[in-house]
Amino acid sequence: MLAEPPRVGWGFVGLYMLAYTGTSLLFLAPLLVSLSLKVNDLVGINAAPSRLALVTSVGSLLAMVANPFFGRLSDRTSSPRGMRRPWMVVGLAAGSLGILTVALAPNITVVLLGWCTAQVFFNALLAALAAVMPDQVPTAQRGAVSGILAVCLPVASVVGTFLVQLFDQNVLTMLLVPGAVGVFLVLPFVARRGDRRLDLEGAPPWSIGEFLGTFYVNPRRSPDFAWAFASRFLLVTAYALLVTYQAYYLLAQVGSSKNDVPHTIFLGILTQSAALVATALVTGKLSDLVGRRKIFVLAAAVVYGLALFVIAGADDVHGYLLGMALGGLGFGMYMAVDLALVVDVLPDTDAAAKDLGVLNIAGALPFSLAPAIAPGILDLGGGSYGVLFTVAGACAIAGAAAVLPIKAVR
């Protein structure tokens, strides 16, 4: 088992935050606008939605496999440069090549190839980057660092949107410039000295069973990890239902005009992000000070569930924005402390990247599941988006309940 690492300084934390922000930017910037515009340029507005769905869905499926797979590889890497750094370099270089392929693609087939390459190798980068937490951050600092990392996603969203707007007449630069900024933010952390080295003594040999175990953690042997997985899966499912269907909700239930929907969603995201950032920075540090994780994660999931109930019952934009602000409080608290909780209950710190990759499935699968189950819920609810978001709120509350059986942390 990995020994408890020494305390980390603010220099390390700052570079780690920049690297996480850069990685989030590499993933997010194309999805926000530019990938859809590239597809639209190639096939036209009528065929674009179905072609974009094909590209993103295949990429998502490969991402779910790639994250634990490269996590396993980094856990077993004995490079003189360390365990994680080689995969950060490979992931950054090959993923960026994938984005370049998308930018220059003459047809959808090449877009699909480029996007799948980007998804696979950026997940190699992400898997190695996530494993740095158990490798180098001590338990007493994980809440604070986790809270800081929770800010990276909303920051990357704002930066990505800003950069895309600067080049909104040129899809090539819309794809390449945010990618270049993302690489620039990640490189200082990759170049820094210090990485965990693998002790090969006692490491199990490679086998078919070892490979298949890459995508699975036995819930009977590791019940705390299984409950943490279930909690994240349920909460992200609630989030995915809201994100996927909020535009239709604003049109059908709130009565927004088609032209007002983008601006209203922007206001909602801005409101949620502001609340998320403020909450994440405070609660992560607070969980370290009081030595507790479960109560924060439980309370956060309950608050997020209540926020969805508010949105479900809203009939105007003010109610929607109130729900989004409340949701930001809950989601910020959850993201700030949940990662620290998960790292504390990892089944094997010698396979940290692999297990965190398995956990990543709980964050990725709901975005494929939500579009599959939502039509059935809407049919049963008579087309009511209030019913859909009530079900989403119930998922979040169930995510709170899933934290209760965890025993290894308080």
| 8-state DSSP, 204 | P
What distances in angstroms separate CA 361 from CA 147, 230, 367, one per listed residue? 21, 11, 10
So what's the pLDDT on residue 227? 85
Average pLDDT, integer, range 181-187: 93
So what's the pLDDT on residue 307? 95
| 8-state DSSP, 205 | P
- The radius of gyration of the chain from alpha carbons, rounded to an integer in Å, stands at 21
* Higher-pLDDT residue of 306, 358: 306
Percentages (nearest 5) of helix, strand, coil residues in the chain: 80, 0, 20
Are 310 and 326 within 8 A, CB to CB?
yes
pLDDT single digits (tens) 68-123:
888 778 777 777 777 788 888 999 999 999 999 999 999 999 999 999 999 899 98
Are 141 and 134 within 8 A, CB to CB?
no
So what's the pLDDT on residue 325? 93
For tokens 């507790």, name the residue: 292
| 8-state DSSP, 349 | G
pLDDT confidence band for 396 (50 / 70 / 90): very high
Are 365 and 233 within 8 A, CB to CB?
yes
Q: Collect contacts of 99-107 with beta carbons under 8 A, ≥24 apart.
A: 99/26, 99/30, 99/175, 99/176, 99/179, 100/176, 100/179, 102/30, 102/35, 102/38, 102/175, 103/38, 103/171, 103/172, 103/175, 103/176, 104/172, 105/38, 105/42, 106/42, 107/42
So what's the pLDDT on residue 287? 78
Tell me the C-alpha distance between 394 and 381, whole Å.
15
Tell me the C-alpha distance between 28 and 22, whole Å.
10
Q: Which residues neighbour 294 within 8 Å (Cβ) at sequence distance 6 or greater?
A: 341, 403, 404, 406, 409, 410
Q: Which CATH superfamily is domain 215-401 in?
A: MFS general substrate transporter like domains (1.20.1250.20)
Tell me the C-alpha distance between 234 and 308, whole Å.
13
Are 406 and 227 within 8 A, CB to CB?
yes
What's at 320, amino acid-wise?
A: Y
Can you name the CATH fold of 10-141+149-194? Growth Hormone; Chain: A; (1.20.1250)
Are 228 and 298 within 8 A, CB to CB?
no
pLDDT confidence band for 212 (50 / 70 / 90): low
* Higher-pLDDT residue of 208, 198: 198
Q: Which residues neighbour 359 within 8 Å (Cβ) at sequence distance 6 or greater?
A: 225, 228, 229, 232, 342
All CATH 1.20.1250.20 domain ranges in the chain, comma separated: 10-141+149-194, 215-401
